[in-house]
Amino acid sequence: MTVAAGIGYALIALGPSLSLFVAVISKKPFLILTVLSSTLLWLISLIVLSGIWRAFLPLKSTTWWPFALLIISSVGFQEGLRVLFWKVYKRLEDTLDAFADRVGKPRLFLTDKMQIALAGGLGHGVAHAVFFCLSLLTPAFGPATFYVDRCPQMPFFLISAIIALAFVTIHTFSMVIAFNGYAEGNTTDQYFVPVVHLVAGMVVKSASA
């Protein structure tokens, strides 16, 4: 719809994460590296999922259960990945603490750990926004726009930008909640995150059906 609209959509999806990045993460280089590695991990999980589902695409859009299956399998896979991320993070924390002892600096504070979790979640969120929203925005820089049958009131790009914004928030903070839950053994927190993820995915799908 013009370059201005395209940039607008990109900022809707990524604006808050950009401000979070500039305010919190850009000051500490380690967090920048954490963001990059968690983005990479999310991308790898997406590639694996697409490899598995490639044979079944394109899905018929009339029945709803293939999509449900897709969502459940994808969310399950990503939550499993989050547990893996947690295990790697535990080992990383031990290494960092040992290193801090050797260098003579204090060990990781709680805020440091939460910042690492925030950076990890932000990586996931940014990856989601980039691959589900930004990469499809190239046509939006042109003079026309595109509407989807299921929601003809708004251009498709606006819909995907708003949903991407919501998912960025979910991803970013669910990592913090999940890591806190795993660290303290708090099962409500631990189950809260995958449930929210799944519900969000299903609700988005069913609202548009």
Partner 1 sequence: MAQNQRPASILDTLGEEIVRIITPVSICMLMVVILVSILSLDDSSSSSAMPTIATIAYSETGSDSSWDKFMGALLNSLVFVAVVTAVTFILVLLFYLRCTNFLKIYLGFSAFVVLAFMGGEIALFLFEKFSFPIDCVTFLVILYNFAVVGVLAVFISKMAILVTQAYLVVIGMLVAYWFTLLPEWTTWVLLVAMALYDLAAVLLPVGPLRLLVELAISRDEDIPALVYEARPVAHHDSGSRDGVVRRRVWSERRNVLHDSGGDVNSNAILSGNAGSNLNSGVVLSVASGHNDTRLAGAEEGRVVEANAELSAPLIDRRMNDNMHRQEEDGTSENLLLEGIGLGSTGAIKLGLGDFIFYSVLVGRAAMYDFMTVYACYLAIVAGLGVTLMLLAFYQKALPALPVSIMLGVLFYLLTRLLLEVFVVQCSMNLVMF
The residues that touch partner 1, with contacts defined as CB under 8 A, are 27-33, 36-37, 39-40, 43, 46-47, 49-51, 53-54, 57-59, 61, 67, 70-71, 74-75, 78, 95-96, 98-100, 102-103, 105-109, 112, 115-116, 128, 130-138, 148, 150-151, 159-160, 163-164, 167, 197, 200-201, 204-205, 208
Nearer to partner 1, 57 or 144 (CB): 57
143 DSSP assignment:
S
Nearer to partner 1, 152 or 185 (CB): 152
Min separation Cβ 30 and partner 1, Å: 4
Distance CA 133, CA 140 (A): 11
Min separation Cβ 140 and partner 1, Å: 12
Nearer to partner 1, 94 or 187 (CB): 94
- The packing angle between helices 110-132 and 3-20, to 10°, is 160
Q: What is 51-119 written as a DSSP string?
A: HHHGGGPSPPSS-SHHHHHHHHHHHHHHHHHHHHHHHHHHHHHHHHHHHHHHHT-----HHHHHHHHHH
